[in-house]
Structure 1
Amino acid sequence: MQEAERSEVEPVTHGLTLLALGRARMNKVTRLATPMLLLAGYAPDADWLSYFGGPAAVFAFRRTMLHSLAGTAALATVVAAAFWWIGRRHPKAPVRLWRALLVCYIAAGSHLLLDLPNPYGLQLLWPFRDKWFAWGIVETVDIWVFAILLLGLLLPALFRLVSEEIGAHVQPRGARRGAIVALALIVVYGGSRWVFRIRAEEILRSRMYHGAAPLVVAAYPSSVSPVTWRGMVETENTIEEVEVHLGRGGYFDPDRGMTNYKPEPSVMLEAARQTVTVQNFVRFARFPLARVQRLRNGYQVELVDLRFASDTPRPSGFMVRVGLDEEMRVVKEEIRPVPPRRPGAAGR
């Protein structure tokens, strides 16, 4: 199966965060702390292997078990226990179990804290609840988060080289301070985007859309600017996509967005809804939209979640396709990347 997900924090950001945690003295908590950080911090993404198991496996495992509080705690415990066992071979410098657990829990927790802010979400309370938690305040690849982490790790080394070159006093804790400042700035940045998102959603709720009242609204990041948001509004018959500009001189026109009309009830949609893949997708999706296409030997039903729709030239998010024959029997179920939207395309 092709990679169907773009709404995921790419591994470089995870790695930079783990390195920053190490620089912030986590690498001094116990021997082998750095490999513990990296292994426990990346371990939740092992559920990416579910893509090889087909649609049912994706919805059963991706961002569920290993990205839950219980799952990440179990992973961190296993990693810590493994390093503690390895450390027993060196009795002169053993790995203390409680110190290893501390390092691994912080690393695994950082993974969740990086994945929660993007629109995809996690099933944090699995297996007790199947609710998806998603803050939706930053893009998958946020250039500001990446830049803050990179500068926090590289600038202290650069300042050290310059200081040595001119013979000035070198700050011994520069690397530690740089990492701590970078992590703090990310928290401040995330908090500011949270405030902007709340403001954008307030604006979306305050308007009418082609004479219809909003039922559900949400705002998602749409650019590198924290004051520009992509608004999603569900009304009785449509799902509206409209930009919200919060900066100085910002404007908002609810009638200048893209209108996606909900499909009429049909036997094709009802047949597709009976499949486990569609049922799982509907539970996951925030703004699901279905389209029915007539084929030579039957029908094809496509479902997309419009929060992942994109005008960029790359695929964004994933879609579900269900093939039906003339007798409304299911002949195919698959998950595929959402193709880039054609310029000027409008919902129907």
Structure 2
Amino acid sequence: MDTGTHIVMGVALGSLATLDPAVAHDPGLAQAVLVGALAGSQAPDLDTILKLKNNAKYIRNHRGITHSIPALFIWPLLITGALVYFYPNVNVFHLWLWISLAVCLHVFVDIFNAYGTQALRPFTKKWIAFGVINTFDPTIFALHLAGIGVIFLGAHPGYTFLTIYIVLAGYYVVRFRQQAAIKKAIYQQIPHVEQIITVPTLRFREWHLAVTTKDYFYVGRAKNGTIHILDTFKKCPIPSHPAIEAAKKDENLSAFLSFSPVYRWEVNEYNDHYEVRFTDLRYRSKGYYPFVAVVQLDLDFNIVSSYTGWIFSEGKLRKKLELIPS
């Protein structure tokens, strides 16, 4: 989820903690739990700092080890240890418990969007992405804001968010049912389907689709239960072209390939260089595919320039690549 949603979820857990008798009867512990829940709800995204290094490091590592099974234990211990310094007389077990819940909730909700996480590391680096909730879901965020508002009006914080989370559990069931109906419609409309990736949008009844079949990639949209195919691409294995083989050694393309499950490739040869481009098919926006990896090589297949990440126009992509115009 986005940072704002994780913050309000931290507030929600701090509120739910008031249902714990140990927290309810100790104002100091209640304050420490709220601070800890806010910290725990943000801690797994500390890897966002990798953006300062480069996009390749960020793409390869974001939602990786910081969202892994060991991290579910390490983050709570670190945060609890830090807070005990400022709140030395609180019940450490209950503080640790609620911080652990905050960290686990963060990782748990992240697996429901299309980006996903590597939540089962170190056992596997496979990305787990259910694709039923947008990274920013207006319904989820609005319900949390409503809950915070109701608390300010005097409602019991614990029972308020207990009610909201029961409603949200039903909301997730509805989203899974929507996804199942979309997949059923795709199987009826497109033959030889091998994989379906759903990417929810900000609109409740509109989803982006990337469908892999035996011979083709289909990019489409589900709107009000109807499947619309927008683009079709012939499914071609990556060839052993020397430009591609050399480009795979570039960290930007390597990071892209470690993350993207469905993409198309192309190799363009110009007078003085080659350009290798891989395009993620999950994120079509207004006829453009903004998530790419591009590697430019000279005629001897030496890497000259490269980029991976989100880009929404060819002009901006050329500025990122800087060295060689095409």
Q: Fold match, TM over 0.5? A: yes
Structure 2 counterparts to residues 149-188 of structure 1, below 5 A: 149-158=144-153, 160=154, 173-188=155-170
Shift of 1:223: 4.2
**2:111 paired with 1:116:** yes
Alignment check: 8 A CA contact 2:15 2:34 kept: no
- Give the aligned partner of residue 271 of structure 1: 246
Structure 2 counterparts to residues 15-26 of structure 1, below 5 A: 15-26=7-18
SS in 2 for 1:206: helix
Task: State the identity as a percent.
Answer: 21
Alignment check: 8 A CA contact 1:77 1:101 kept: yes
Alignment check: 8 A CA contact 2:208 2:220 kept: yes
Residue-by-residue CA offset, 1:208-242 (whole Å, 9 max, x unaligned): 3xxx62222222213422x4332221134431112
**2:239 paired with 1:257:** no
In terms of fraction of residues, the more helix-rich structure is 2
Alignment check: 8 A CA contact 1:269 1:301 kept: yes
SS in 1 for 2:65: coil
Structure 2 counterparts to residues 302-313 of structure 1, below 5 A: 302-311=277-286
Instruction: Provide the aligned length of Structure 1 versus Structure 2.
Output: 304
Residue-by-residue CA offset, 1:233-281 (whole Å, 9 max, x unaligned): 1134431112234x5xx4346xx43113445734333332344543442
Root-mean-square deviation (Å): 2.6
Residue-by-residue CA offset, 1:263-310 (whole Å, 9 max, x unaligned): 573433333234454344223212122233444531222222211222
User: Structure 1 counterpart of 2:85, which letter?
Assistant: W
**2:110 paired with 1:100:** no
Shift of 1:156: 4.5
Shift of 1:130: 0.8
Query: What is the rounded CA distance, in whole Å, between the counterparts of 2:96 and 2:167 in structure 1?
Result: 26
TM-score (normalizing by structure 1): 0.78
**2:141 paired with 1:146:** yes
Query: What is the rounded CA distance, in whole Å, between the counterparts of 2:269 and 2:158 in structure 1?
Result: 61
Alignment check: 8 A CA contact 2:69 2:122 kept: no
Query: What is the rounded CA distance, in whole Å, between the counterparts of 1:288 and 1:323 in structure 2?
Result: 18
Query: What is the rounded CA distance, in whole Å, between the counterparts of 1:309 and 1:84 in structure 2?
Result: 47
Shift of 1:97: 2.2
Q: Which of 102, 117, 126 is the matching residue for 2:121?
A: 126
Query: What is the rounded CA distance, in whole Å, between the counterparts of 2:197 and 2:141 in structure 1?
Result: 25
Q: Which of 200, 207, 220 is the matching residue for 1:221?
A: 200
Query: What is the rounded CA distance, in whole Å, between the counterparts of 1:127 and 1:176 in structure 2?
Result: 35
Query: What is the rounded CA distance, in whole Å, between the counterparts of 1:24 and 1:39 in structure 2?
Result: 16
Higher relative contact order (CA 8 A, sep 6+): 1
- Give the aligned partner of residue 322 of structure 1: 295
Shift of 1:37: 0.9
